[in-house]
Amino acid sequence: MEIAFYHLTKTDVESALPPLLNKVLTAGKRVVIRCADEARLQMLDAALWTKGKNFFLPHGTANDDVPPVRQPIFLTTEDVNPNQAEILLVSGDVQVAEDAAYERVLDMFDGQDEAALNAARKRWAHYKQEGCDLTYWQQQPSGGWEKKAV
């Protein structure tokens, strides 16, 4: 499994997430966003309605009337894939099983939060020990991403 770590240095997750998700959707992929807790889920759900200024990010949660399988982006706190997504994005300290059925996992973390940084380092070490394909992307001053490690 390929796991890409996204180290936020300039913006928060709510601001960095929409452009990244737009790229994923443009590539024709579906996404599950697994949040560490309900508060983070609600925060990201609200951000996806307001932060994608130049594009609409169709998404939903288990609380919506639209069936999950019809949602290109599905937010959850559970270890589920109800929209048959190829991409899993984790937000917060979430460990992913090495046999998870995703093409790619995106692990986005706040590099200005020492606890989040330390948790990401532990996840990196764990996945490396398990033999996962890892990449590390660091946010640039422009807001874009630069690949720093493979």
Sign of dihedral through CA atoms 14, 19, 24, 30? positive
* Structure confidence at residue 52 (pLDDT): 64
Taking CA atoms, 31 is separated from 4, 40, 46, 76, 150, in Å, by 14, 17, 17, 11, 23
* Structure confidence at residue 67 (pLDDT): 86
All domains of the chain, ordered by start, with CATH? 2-149 (3.40.50.10110)
Give me the average pLDDT of each 10-residue run along the chain (150 residues).
Answer: 92 87 94 94 89 78 88 94 95 82 93 92 94 94 86
Residues in the chain: 150
Nearest-CA neighbor of 94 among 82, 104, 106? 106
